[in-house]
């Protein structure tokens, strides 16, 4: 199928690392890459309005097919004009296939050749998600970018288990391509293969022989070590075609994003900035800051004096701490806004460094600043 309204171009490539500055065209606007994609699981980036997100410069949001198909139901959203209209988001959307969510429910699902049989986490009702069903649901939701239904390989897996899982994912990938009917949605395939280099290589080579509009690396951040994750990333990303967008799913810390960009990745999503926002853990260039700490009770400074977000322009650490301690939901929103801004700013700075030819120095400077933190964001002060 020839997809219309979707395109990808590489504007600059770092000669040392292969990192790319790119641009995706979608029916709902362009997306500058490398891009961080906030998670809007239930058709809302938790605590933020569409206007908040537009003002922060968000160009692409991810929503979860699994959650939306159970509540309010994909048919309901389709009847209301699709997901963009439902959530009043005028810019680009990406939906996952539901594969990762059902994978996460180990106790509640059974995998067959046909698809995945599972019970709803909401009411225990029985459902079956197939490649064809996942495509049909995503076509009803109407996102700009949709994902193939894959089998997310558990960790740890034996080579035989990983082989079986990647073969199933490849058969499902072909069924997804055959099932698609909308020419205005880009469809991405997903590389599995666990932590085994030869399997990842084979999965990438066979998947990229199929006519997807982009390629994702899946099955990471499922229990493997940071070293294993980086190994797979660095081994797999270069095998994906240079002329298509590359998407690292569900990753990660600020450090992970920088290393992902350096490996040639264009797109990232992760719940980390939004979830950490709701637990009061705020990102700064000097590391993370836990806003509930007593030391901030009379701290008149913003979270990050260098930050230009609404939260930092307007409120003190003392006020944010008060909101958090007093269980005021405004605090969750202001924290989330700051963290999303931090992630987007990191991406914007990476893009600028790539255009200016200073990416190697930028990468080195930022990784050094993050150094000493197990998750790439040391506790501040």
Catalytic residues: 96, 269
Nearest-approach distance from CB 363 to its own copies, in angstroms: 35
Nearest-approach distance from CB 81 to its own copies, in angstroms: 7
Nearer to its own copies, 53 or 166 (CB): 53
Nearest-approach distance from CB 325 to its own copies, in angstroms: 7
Please, what is the Cα angle at 267 between 183 and 100, to 5 degrees?
80
Q: How is 52-98 classified by DSSP, letter by letter?
A: HHHHTT--EEEE-HHHHHHTT-HHHHHHTT-HHHHHT--SEEEE--S
Nearest to 159 by CA among 95, 203, 111, 118: 203
Residues that bind its own copies (CB under 8 A): 42-44, 46-51, 71-72, 76, 79-81, 86-88, 297-298, 300, 310, 314-316, 318-319, 321-323, 325-326, 328-330, 332-334
CB 102 within 8 Å of CB 118 = yes
Nearest-approach distance from CB 278 to its own copies, in angstroms: 9
Q: How far apart are CA 252 and CA 233, in angstroms?
A: 12
Nearest-approach distance from CB 67 to its own copies, in angstroms: 8
Nearest-approach distance from CB 103 to its own copies, in angstroms: 22
Nearer to its own copies, 260 or 302 (CB): 302
Nearer to its own copies, 88 or 379 (CB): 88
Nearer to its own copies, 242 or 297 (CB): 297
Nearest to 70 by CA among 146, 137, 144: 137
Q: How far apart are CA 295 and CA 119, in angstroms?
A: 45
- For residue 380, give the DSSP letter: P
- 3-state SS track over 150-182: CCCCCCCCCHHHHHHHHHHHHHHHHHHHHHCCC
Q: How far apart are CA 228 and CA 340, in angstroms?
A: 27
CB 5 within 8 Å of CB 16 = no
CB 109 within 8 Å of CB 102 = yes
* CA 15 vs CA 31, 205, 239: distances in Å: 23, 23, 17
Helix or strand holding residue 205 (H, E): helix 197-208
Nearer to its own copies, 106 or 300 (CB): 300
Q: How far apart are CA 255 and CA 370, in angstroms?
A: 7
CB 177 within 8 Å of CB 213 = no
Nearest-approach distance from CB 300 to its own copies, in angstroms: 6
């Amino acid at each position: 199928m020839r997809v219309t309204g979707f395109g990808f171009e590489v504007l600059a490539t770092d000669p040392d690392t292969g990192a790319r500055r790119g641009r995706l065209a979608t029916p709902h606007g362009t997306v500058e890459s490398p891009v961080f994609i906030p998670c809007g699981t239930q058709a809302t980036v938790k605590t933020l309005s569409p206007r908040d997100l537009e003002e922060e410069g968000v160009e692409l949001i991810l929503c979860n097919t699994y959650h939306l198909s159970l509540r309010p139901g994909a048919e309901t959203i389709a009847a209301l004009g699709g997901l963009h209209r439902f959530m009043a988001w005028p810019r680009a959307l990406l939906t996952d296939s539901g594969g990762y969510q059902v994978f996460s429910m180990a106790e509640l699902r059974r995998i067959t050749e046909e698809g995945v049989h599972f019970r709803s986490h909401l009411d225990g009702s029985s459902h079956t998600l197939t490649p064809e069903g996942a495509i049909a649901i995503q076509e009803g939701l109407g996102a700009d970018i949709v994902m193939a239904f894959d089998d997310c390989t558990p960790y740890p897996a034996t080579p035989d288990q990983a082989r079986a899982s990647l073969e199933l994912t490849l058969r499902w990938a072909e069924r997804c391509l055959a099932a698609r009917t909308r020419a205005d949605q880009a469809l991405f395939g997903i590389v599995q293969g666990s932590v085994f280099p030869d399997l990842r290589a084979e999965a990438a080579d066979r998947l990229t022989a199929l006519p997807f509009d982009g390629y994702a690396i899946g099955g990471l951040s499922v229990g493997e070590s940071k070293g294993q994750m980086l190994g797979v990333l660095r081994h797999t990303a270069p095998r994906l075609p240079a002329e298509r967008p590359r998407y690292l799913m569900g990753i990660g810390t600020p450090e992970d994003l920088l290393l992902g960009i350096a490996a040639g990745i264009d797109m990232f999503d992760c719940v980390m900035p939004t979830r950490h926002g709701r637990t009061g853990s705020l990102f700064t260039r000097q590391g993370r800051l836990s806003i509930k700490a007593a030391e901030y009770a009379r701290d008149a400074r913003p979270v990050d004096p260098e930050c230009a977000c609404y939260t930092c322009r307007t409120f003190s650490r003392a006020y944010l701490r008060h909101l958090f301690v007093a269980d005021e939901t405004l605090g969750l929103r202001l924290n989330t806004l700051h963290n999303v801004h931090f992630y987007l700013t990191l991406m914007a700075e990476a893009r600028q460094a790539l255009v200016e030819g200073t990416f190697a120095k930028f990468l080195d400077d930022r990784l050094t600043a993050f150094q000493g933190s197990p998750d790439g964001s040391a506790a501040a002060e």
